Structure 1
Amino acid sequence: MTAFALPARAAGLWPAVTAAALTATVTVTPGFTVGAFTAPIAADLRVSRLTLGLAMSVFYAATALGSPFAKRLAARLPVPTALTVAALAASATLLAVSLATHAAVLFAALAAGGLTNALVQPAAGRVIAARAPEHRRSLASGLVGAALGAATLIPGMLVAFVLPAHGWRAAMAAAAVIALLPAALAPLTRVPAAAPAAARPGAPDPANAGAGRTLRLWAVAAALSAAGNNAVATYFVTLAGHAGIAGAVAGNLLSLSALLAIAVRLAAGGLTDRAPRHNPAVIAAMGAAGAAGLALVALGHPAAFLVGAVLAFSAGWGWTGLLLATVIRLLPGRAENAGHTVQVGVFSGAAVAPFAFGALSDAFGADGAALAAAGAGLVAAVLAVLGARTGR
């Protein structure tokens, strides 16, 4: 019996994880797409950029605040059902935004999309815990973590190829159609009935007090790091224009940066699977490198912006998959809790980023706002180290 345990556990791993990652990509796309289309949306709806920043913050805040409920729901629902609902809701959100004629519609649609987005990470955690053997969990988590990078690829391509000729509404409608595609792959994510991730909802959390402190530190670190890097991703086109880079070129750079971010997540996951105990140190190092990238963006020079954006996208966000894998190891049998912990941290930071960055830009300019984001990233790296020491 035991000779066949590992193949059964790992059967269908990569199709299942890929389906979960694609769903995670489209469900977070509404926030990034509104950010990429800030200028035309603001002009069409006659609202300020600060208002749009608040609308994006509502999307991410809904994910963070809805995460505790989504964690419990994801533990009860079949994984394919949870992911299908999330993908269909993301498509509906994007379609509603494309038809919006008033800022209130925009706020309502993004709030609803943020709530359903909260289903994805707990469900993905169940897939990884159920199907991935120990020596593949960082790579599998890296693939799911790559969704944050891939989510910027979609608006980047739309800015470059659809927006100039057809306008932001048509580009947003195209994003709504793209968001439907992962729903067809959701059946691949079925979790075996005997999977450890299917632990009883409400069962006692096995994490001890030390693990609890570690999780809190890591969640705050994730929030601070995500705040800085999300701001750059959200306002990428705007910051590129401030550095003297044309809009179409900025769209292509956003797409290329997203591809690099995906590659870094996968490479980091594959390499750290060889020695998972070093994951916290790698997370802290990548966070520090991302902070350095944000400092370069603050210089406002085209070459510095290019190097800084690459660092912020690749290193600054490349740790999300590693954090998920590390927390899954810390919370055996409660994979939905692992996804919840990472999600609350990342999306809490993302909720603060658009509004805070917009306010700081108005007060101190884009360079000052990027420098503040770099400081937040540096503090995040320190907290990641402290969390690892607490865990030990």
Structure 2
Amino acid sequence: MSSAGASPRTESRRPGPGSPTGSGRLVGGGALGGALGVPTMVLVTLVTVLSKGPLFLPGAVSDLLQRDLGLGPGGIGLIIALYWTGSTYGAYLSRRGAGGGVVERRIGVALLATATVLVVTAVWPLVGLWAGAVVGGLVYGYTQPHTNFLLVRRCAPRVQGVAFGIKQASIPLAVLFYSLAVPAIAVPAGWRPLFLVAGLLCAAQGGHLLTFTAARGTRSRARQAAERLTLDRQLFALAAAGACGAAVGNSLGGFLFSSLTHDGNSTLTASLLVSGGSVLAAVVRIVVGRRVDRSPTRPLRLLMLLFLLGAAGTALLTVPLLPAQLLGTLLAFGGGWGWAGLLHHTASAAYPGHEAAATAYTQMGVSIGGALGPLGFGLLITATGHTLAWWSMTALALAACLCLTRAGHSRLD
């Protein structure tokens, strides 16, 4: 057990904006937005969206890649698996957090690495697609605990739940962002310019972070704590729940559309259901965070409720009737994929002084689930069909609840 303290529920223990133990002063700290940490929320959201490029772009332009390179669904699936494998290792590397401008510099360098592989993909796609998946995933997994650290240290305690929700809500919105970029750039100009533009955006943000920290003259400070955070029972339970939940969520994103059309729904109906579910997942992440900020809700109970709703949703997806699939989609996305911000917020609050390390472990769990879930789902579809595959997701959502019941409540509630 770490020596990080006994209870996460005392807000005074968590460094607030501008505190001596925080990670640097806030931009515009005298204004209301700066005092709440709005600039940090914007920064973290941008980093999250940009670092998702190597994952979402190949899927968004999959038809063009198949026409130009012969890359079919199997290749896209391998890219996804490589991305999440890299993310697992990136989160593992980030277990030792750092304070001060070191965090921003590391994020800046990481974004420059993502920019490089995106440009390489545009120039040498047969190398860049695979290298980009691994490096892009590593960058994502590495930067997420660092951005979580910034949220805790720079956002006011009363808005940290919603800050984590906004950050995680940016992921489904990133899908929309990259999808809209296809008709705007890839269709008229080709997929290569789209990768170049994405690379330039990453380079611009990474360069800005490096320039900003250099201009402030921020020096490296001590790591978050002298002792390394050990993986105790509570943290393992959160990571395991995240792995199960991410397997469900990523399988929803990857296979729900094909499942709905397989059951006889039109392409338009399936598109509307998946789009609506994605938006709902983003909204739920923010609303749940706001709920935690404004009331003494116990996070473990709320997490279990979300996983149970997700389990009910995936069970309804086995029924080949549109009303059941409509309700199932909403429950599966809202509950089965709306927990992400709350999970990381709970881990960071439970281990004050070790926020980056704690969320590195939960990010490792999420990344493992992101890699193995869609892979297993696809294999089940091939072997048995969609029905058993969705029942397996129901079982995983219930397994996430079981993991949380084994966590104990000394830290997490």
- Among 247, 268, 271, the residue aligned to 1:227: 247
1:216 to 230, 236, 248: 236
Instruction: Answer yes or no: is 1:375 the counterpart of 2:391.
Output: no
1:285 and 2:305 aligned = yes
1:342 to 348, 354, 362: 362
For residues 202-234 of structure 1, give each alpha carbon's deviation from its aligned partner in whole angstroms, at most 9, with x where no partner exists.
721466xxx810100110110011011111113
Change (3 A) 1:203 1:220: same
Q: Deviations over 1:335-357 (max 9, x none)?
A: 21122022111111101123222
CA distance in 2, matches of 1:159, 1:246: 22
Instruction: Pick from 82, 85, 104 the counterpart of residue 61 of structure 1.
Output: 85
Deviates more, 1:293-302 or 1:158-167: 158-167
The aligned counterpart of 1:364 is: 384
Q: How far apart are the structure 2 equivalents of 1:330 and 1:189? A: 31
Residue 16 of structure 1 deviates from its aligned partner by 0.8
Cα contact 2:348–2:355 (8 A) shared by 1 = yes
Q: Which of 175, 178, 195 is the matching residue for 1:152?
A: 175
Corresponding letter in the other structure for 1:28 = K
1:310-330: CA deviation from partner (whole Å, max 9, x where unpaired) = 333332222221122211121
1:111 aligns with 2:134: yes
TM-score (normalised: structure 1): 0.82
Among 100, 104, 123, the residue aligned to 2:146: 123
Query: Residue 86 of structure 1: CA displacement?
Result: 3.4
Is the CA contact 1:25–1:148 (under 8 Å) kept in the aligned structure 2? yes
Q: Which has the larger radius of gyration?
A: 2
CA distance in 2, matches of 1:24, 1:128: 13
> Residue 225 and residue 6 in structure 1: after superposition, are their counterparts in 2 closer, same or farther (change >3 A)?
closer
* 1:360 Cα deviation from its structure 2 partner: 1.8
Of 21-30 and 239-248, more deviation after overlay is shown by 239-248
Please state if 1:50 is matched with 2:70. Answer: no
Quick check: which one's helix share is greater?
1
Determine if the alignment matches structure 1 residue 203 to structure 2 residue 226.
yes
Q: Aligned runs of 1:1-392 on 2, under 5 Å?
A: 8-9=18-19, 11=29, 12=34, 13-38=37-62, 41-42=65-66, 44-72=68-96, 78-98=102-122, 101-102=125-126, 105-158=128-181, 175-176=198-199, 179=202, 182-183=205-206, 186=209, 199-200=222-223, 203-205=226-228, 212-245=232-265, 254-276=274-296, 278-389=298-409, 391=411
SS of equivalent residue, structure 1 residue 203: coil
Distance 2:74 2:275 in 1: 25
Contact (CA 8 Å) 1:213, 1:390: kept in 2 or not?
no
Structure 1 residues 240-249 or 344-353, which shifts more? 240-249
RMSD after superposition? 3.6
Write the deviation string for residues 179-223 of structure 1: whole angstroms up to 9, x where unpaired. 567547748997x999xx96526721466xxx8101001101100
Within 1, Cα distance between the matches of 2:212 and 2:303? Answer: 27
Q: Given the superposition, is the C-alpha separation of residues 353 and 120 from structure 1 closer, same or farther in structure 2, using an over 3 Å criterion?
A: same
Gapped regions of structure 1 (runs ≥ 5): none
The sequence identity of aligned pairs, in percent, is 26
The answer to whether the 8 A contact 2:94-2:357 is kept is no
CA distance in 2, matches of 1:376, 1:315: 13
Mark the CA change 1:189 to 1:215 in structure 2 (over 3 Å): closer, same or farther.
farther
State how far apart, in whole Å, the 2-side matches of 1:71 and 1:261 are: 28
Quote the Cα distance in structure 2 between the aligned partners of 1:37 and 1:248.
19
Where structure 2 has 5 or more consecutive residues not aligned to the other structure, the ranges are 1-11, 20-25
